[in-house]
Amino acid sequence: MQTVSCPSCGAEVNFRSHASVMAVCEYCNTRVLKEAGAVKDLGKISSVLEDYSPIQIGTSGVLGGRNFTVAGRIQLRYDAGMWNEWYLIFDDGANGWLGDASGQYTVTMLRTPPKQVPSFEELRAGQRYTLVGAPYTVADVRTAQCIGGQGELPFKVGDGWQAKVADFRHGSNFLTLDYSDEGPPLLYTGVSVTLESMQCQLLRDPEEIKRTTGRYRGKLDTLGCPSCGTQINYLPGLTASLVCQSCQTQIDASSPKAEVIAKGEQHDREYFSLPLGAKGKLGNQDFTVIGVMRRADDEGTGWTEYLLYGSRNGFTWLVETEDGWSRANVMDQWPYSEGLGAPQVTLDKADYNKLYDYNSVVTYAAGAFNWRVQVGDHTHVYEYKRQQVVLAAEATASELGWSRSTPVAVDQLKAWFGDAVKVKTPEVPRHAIAQDFSTDRCKRSAKNWIMGMVALNAIPLLFNFSSAIVYTLFAAAAIYVPAAIIDALDDTLKK
């Protein structure tokens, strides 16, 4: 470790790795450039926005039998949200990056790029390319701005530094092409991970997260809508977009100061089976409903999606359709397919057959979301099913994601949320009830007459069966056939 004095305030600045080029003074946010025998003041950088990530400088873990320590981070913001890139230093001297986006984690390390790579401009979500000997699918393509830095870093970076990156996935393998600098893009390869799988230590505990989150912005966990004043619950530093449930005003919550993106119009509040702010316990995890949106397909069939957040398990979704409820989670490991829209995909050696392929549009949104959402947003959805499990791919021009959902019984939902669940029981209209009783009314009357006639002729049937049965059947037919004809004509007229 090398320790130098900050050229701005004189405080100690530590460099744990010889590969680190720059460090941010934790006292005055000065960017300190390490040069041969000296340090240089590169000016200030914005403080990072304390978010709900449990990772911090000093967090340690194990990956592939190699110990690492988190030494720094940069915070990046793009048009639909923000994420953290944590700089890792391994005990053997190597370094890498831990991507941290809404509770999804990837670890990547710099590799030698292949000779042939696509240009940044030609990349589209869902395209497939053979890279490092495997078929990778483009997961997202984005241009982001640096909005803050912390700790030590392997290159010079400051406010406004622009990152042009494209992420690719192949199963649980992850790959990034970085087009930020002039010349050929940099190649980073790695895997999707969890904090548990890396045996992470020195993580922030839930109480510390709750105490420090949003400290930079100086906001609480509610915000008055700048348009109509309605209080909106949100997670500072984690939810990138707010939509007022009363007036549909869109608010950017990913910058130091909440700003109105677009004003909406006042309207009556919508009815939801799970209201915003409802709290539930899924297993041993506490979750809160922080966002809700309605979507519809090409034919106008609609459904409702509820975004839930838990301090330990991050985000999860509950989806309400005409057929019932399901719970959905974003997938870190993607299924294998021959391309978007393929008739079949494979996950963990199990095949899933294609169900549907349709366009989806957001028709209503309210609450807080970890990406920017607005009415009119379009995605294309591909659904695949095996037994009770559904895999869904949702694609736009710049982003592709997979989710996995399983059915949830209403009784289970009520066990999770108790009295907060307001599932409506469909009411049968009075005219429908009347119509139901009026259906086949003549045939029912005819059957009653026939049964009465048989009862009256029971004794003659016993003593003279052969002749009595003929008259009885003839009389029954004379009663039933006209009744059936009348009911059929009545049904035709109703249609």
341: pLDDT strictly greater than 50: yes
* Res. 254 pLDDT band, cuts 50 70 90: low
**Residue whose pair of structure tokens reads 């990837």 in the numeric block:** 106
Mean of the per-residue pLDDT values for the chain? 82
457: pLDDT strictly greater than 80: no
Phi first, then psi: give them for residue 332, nearest 5 degrees.
-85, -35
What mean pLDDT comes out for the span 151-156? Answer: 92
The string over 218-239, giving b where at least 16 C-beta atoms fall within 10 Å of a residue's C-beta and e elsewhere, is: ebeeebebebeebebbbbbbbb
What mean pLDDT comes out for the span 40-66? Answer: 88
* Res. 265 pLDDT band, cuts 50 70 90: very low
More confident residue, 14 or 494: 14
* Res. 92 pLDDT band, cuts 50 70 90: very high
Q: CA–CA separation, 301 vs 303, rounded Å? A: 7
161: pLDDT strictly greater than 80: yes
Which three-class secondary structure state does DSSP give residue 24?
A: strand
261: pLDDT strictly greater than 50: no
What mean pLDDT comes out for the span 240-268? Answer: 53
**Residue whose pair of structure tokens reads 């035709």 in the numeric block:** 492
Q: Which pLDDT score is estimated for 16?
A: 84
Q: Which pLDDT score is estimated for 151?
A: 94
* Res. 207 pLDDT band, cuts 50 70 90: confident
42-46, 302-306, 319-323: least confident range: 42-46
Q: Which pLDDT score is estimated for 1?
A: 75
Q: Which pLDDT score is estimated for 86?
A: 97
Q: Which pLDDT score is estimated for 375?
A: 85
* Res. 175 pLDDT band, cuts 50 70 90: very high
51: pLDDT strictly greater than 70: yes
The strand pair at 134-153 and 162-170 is best described as antiparallel
Q: CA–CA separation, 25 vs 31, rounded Å? A: 7
* Res. 449 pLDDT band, cuts 50 70 90: low
CA atoms within 13 A on the CB side of 433: 4
Q: Which pLDDT score is estimated for 244?
A: 64
What mean pLDDT comes out for the span 347-352? Answer: 96
> Which element (helix H / strand E) includes 459?
helix 458-463
Rg, C-alpha atoms of the chain: 32
**Residue whose pair of structure tokens reads 């986006």 in the numeric block:** 101
Q: Which pLDDT score is estimated for 226?
A: 58
Q: Which pLDDT score is estimated for 446?
A: 60
Q: Which pLDDT score is estimated for 428?
A: 41
Q: CA–CA separation, 77 vs 81, rounded Å? A: 6
Tens digit of pLDDT for each residue in 415-438?
Answer: 999 988 887 544 444 344 344 444
More confident residue, 101 or 385: 385
What mean pLDDT comes out for the span 215-244? Answer: 54
Which three-class secondary structure state does DSSP give residue 200?
A: coil
Q: CA–CA separation, 100 vs 67, rounded Å? A: 19
More confident residue, 86 or 313: 86
Q: Which pLDDT score is estimated for 217?
A: 36
What mean pLDDT comes out for the span 121-146? Answer: 94
What mean pLDDT comes out for the span 351-356? Answer: 96
Q: Which pLDDT score is estimated for 190?
A: 97
Q: Which pLDDT score is estimated for 253?
A: 57
403: pLDDT strictly greater than 90: yes
Which three-class secondary structure state does DSSP give residue 54?
A: coil
220: pLDDT strictly greater than 80: no
393: pLDDT strictly greater than 80: yes
443: pLDDT strictly greater than 60: no
More confident residue, 249 or 420: 420
